[in-house]
Chain A
Amino acid sequence: MSGFDTIIEGVLLGGVYALFALGLSLIFGIMRLVNLAHGDLILLAAYLVLSATTALGLPLAAASLLAVAAMFVLGFVLQRLVLERVLGDDILPPLLVTFGLSIVIQNGLLLGYGADSRRLQAGAFESSSVTLAPGLSVGLAPLMALVTAIAAVALLQLIFYRTSLGRAFRATADNPAIAQLMGINERNVYAIAVGLSLAVSVIAAVVFGIRASFDPSIGPARLLYAFEAVIIGGLGSLWGTLAGGIVLGLAQAIGGRINPEWQILAGHLAFLAVLMVRPRGLFPARRT
Chain B
Amino acid sequence: MSVESIDMPASREQRAVEAPVWQVRVGTRLSRVAAVAGIALVVVLAALPAFAPRNLIQDLIFVLTMLTLAQLWNVLAGWGGLVSVGQQAFVGLGAYALFAGIVMAGLDPVAAIPLAGLFAAVIAAVLGPLLFRLEGPYFAIGSWVAAEALRLICAQFKSLGGGTGMSISPSELSQMVGLKTVQALLGLRPAAARDVLVYWLALLLAVLVTLGIYAFIRSRHGLALAASRDNAAAARSVGVRTARIRHMLWIAVAFATGMVGAVVYLQKARISPDAAFSVTDWTAYVIFIVVIGGVRTIEGPMVGVLLLWGLVTYLAQYGSLYLVVLGTLAILIMLFMPRGAWGAAARRWQVQLFPTQRWLGRSR
Q: Given A107-B327, A110-B320, decide whether A95 and B137 contact each other with a Cβ distance below 8 A.
A: yes
A121 to chain B, nearest CB (A): 26
Please, which residues of chain A bring their CB within 8 A of the CB of B136? 91
B145 and A228 form a contact (CB under 8 A): yes
- B331-347 vs A, CB cutoff 8 Å, 1 = contact: the mask equals 10011001000000000
Please, which residues of chain B bring their CB within 8 A of the CB of A95? 83, 85, 137, 140
A111 and B81 form a contact (CB under 8 A): no
Interface residues of B in 275-297 (CB under 8 A from A): 279-280, 284, 287, 291, 295
A275 and B144 form a contact (CB under 8 A): no
B138 at the interface (CB under 8 A from A): yes
- CB nearest to A111 among chain B residues: B320
Q: Given A272-B149, A275-B134, decide whether A86 and B335 contact each other with a Cβ distance below 8 A.
A: yes
The distance in angstroms between the C-alpha atoms of A275 and B134, with both chains bound, is 9
Assuming A99-B284, A100-B331, A268-B146, what are 18 further A-B pairs, CB within 8 angstroms?
A33-B137, A34-B138, A91-B83, A95-B83, A100-B330, A101-B331, A103-B326, A103-B327, A108-B324, A111-B321, A224-B141, A231-B134, A261-B155, A264-B152, A268-B145, A269-B149, A271-B145, A275-B133
B301 to chain A, nearest CB (A): 14
Please, which residues of chain B bring their CB within 8 A of the CB of A100? 327-328, 330-331, 334
Q: Given A103-B284, A111-B324, A265-B153, decide whether A96 and B330 contact each other with a Cβ distance below 8 A.
A: yes
CB-defined A-B contacts under 8 Å, sample of 17: A82-B331, A92-B81, A95-B137, A95-B140, A99-B85, A101-B327, A104-B323, A104-B324, A107-B327, A108-B320, A223-B141, A224-B141, A227-B142, A228-B145, A261-B163, A271-B145, A272-B145
The distance in angstroms between the C-alpha atoms of A228 and B141, with both chains bound, is 9
A279 at the interface (CB under 8 A from B): yes
- CB nearest to B136 among chain A residues: A91
The distance in angstroms between the C-alpha atoms of A221 and B149, with both chains bound, is 11
Please, which residues of chain B bring their CB within 8 A of the CB of A276? 130
Ordered nearest first, which 4 A-B pairs have the shortest CB separation? A34-B137, A103-B327, A104-B327, A268-B149
Interface residues of A in 112-149 (CB under 8 A from B): none
A268 and B137 form a contact (CB under 8 A): no
Please, which residues of chain B bring their CB within 8 A of the CB of A93? 334, 338
Please, which residues of chain B bring their CB within 8 A of the CB of A286? none
Q: Which residues of B are interface residues toward A (Cβ below 8 A)? A: 77-78, 81, 83, 85, 130-131, 133-134, 136-138, 140-142, 144-146, 148-149, 152-153, 155-156, 163, 279-280, 284, 287, 291, 295, 320-321, 323-324, 326-328, 330-331, 334-335, 338
Please, which residues of chain B bring their CB within 8 A of the CB of A104? 323-324, 327-328, 331
B320 and A34 form a contact (CB under 8 A): no
The distance in angstroms between the C-alpha atoms of A281 and B163, with both chains bound, is 32
Please, which residues of chain B bring their CB within 8 A of the CB of A271? 145
**Count of A interface residues, CB-CB < 8 Å:** 43
A32 at the interface (CB under 8 A from B): yes
Q: Given A95-B140, A224-B141, decide whether A107 and B334 contact each other with a Cβ distance below 8 A.
A: no
A96 and B287 form a contact (CB under 8 A): yes
Please, which residues of chain B bring their CB within 8 A of the CB of A102? 327
A94 and B137 form a contact (CB under 8 A): yes
A97 and B156 form a contact (CB under 8 A): no
The distance in angstroms between the C-alpha atoms of A86 and B280, with both chains bound, is 23
B141 and A227 form a contact (CB under 8 A): yes
A36 at the interface (CB under 8 A from B): yes
Determine which of B140, B152, B328, B338 lies in contact with A36 in the assembled complex, contact meaning CB atoms within 8 Å: B140
The distance in angstroms between the C-alpha atoms of A131 and B141, with both chains bound, is 39
Please, which residues of chain B bring their CB within 8 A of the CB of A14? none
The distance in angstroms between the C-alpha atoms of A102 and B85, with both chains bound, is 12
B130 and A272 form a contact (CB under 8 A): yes
Please, which residues of chain A bring their CB within 8 A of the CB of B134? 231, 275
Please, which residues of chain A bring their CB within 8 A of the CB of B287? 96, 99
- CB nearest to B318 among chain A residues: A111
A85 at the interface (CB under 8 A from B): yes
- A261-288 vs B, CB cutoff 8 Å, 1 = contact: the mask equals 1001100110110011001000000000
Please, which residues of chain B bring their CB within 8 A of the CB of A110? 320
The distance in angstroms between the C-alpha atoms of A223 and B140, with both chains bound, is 12
Determine which of B152, B321, B335 lies in contact with A268 in the assembled complex, contact meaning CB atoms within 8 Å: B152
B83 to chain A, nearest CB (A): 5
Q: Given A36-B140, A272-B130, decide whether A224 and B148 contact each other with a Cβ distance below 8 A.
A: yes
B334 and A96 form a contact (CB under 8 A): yes
A220 at the interface (CB under 8 A from B): yes
Chain B CB count within 10 A is highest, among A99, A220, A221, A228, for A99
Determine which of A28, A86, A108, A265 lies in contact with B149 in the assembled complex, contact meaning CB atoms within 8 Å: A265
Please, which residues of chain B bring their CB within 8 A of the CB of A275? 130-131, 133-134, 142
The distance in angstroms between the C-alpha atoms of A76 and B134, with both chains bound, is 28
B83 and A103 form a contact (CB under 8 A): no
Please, which residues of chain B bring their CB within 8 A of the CB of A220? 144, 279
Please, which residues of chain A bring their CB within 8 A of the CB of B142? 227, 231, 275
Please, which residues of chain B bring their CB within 8 A of the CB of A268? 145-146, 148-149, 152
- CB nearest to A109 among chain B residues: B320
The distance in angstroms between the C-alpha atoms of A223 and B144, with both chains bound, is 10
B149 and A97 form a contact (CB under 8 A): no
B243 to chain A, nearest CB (A): 14
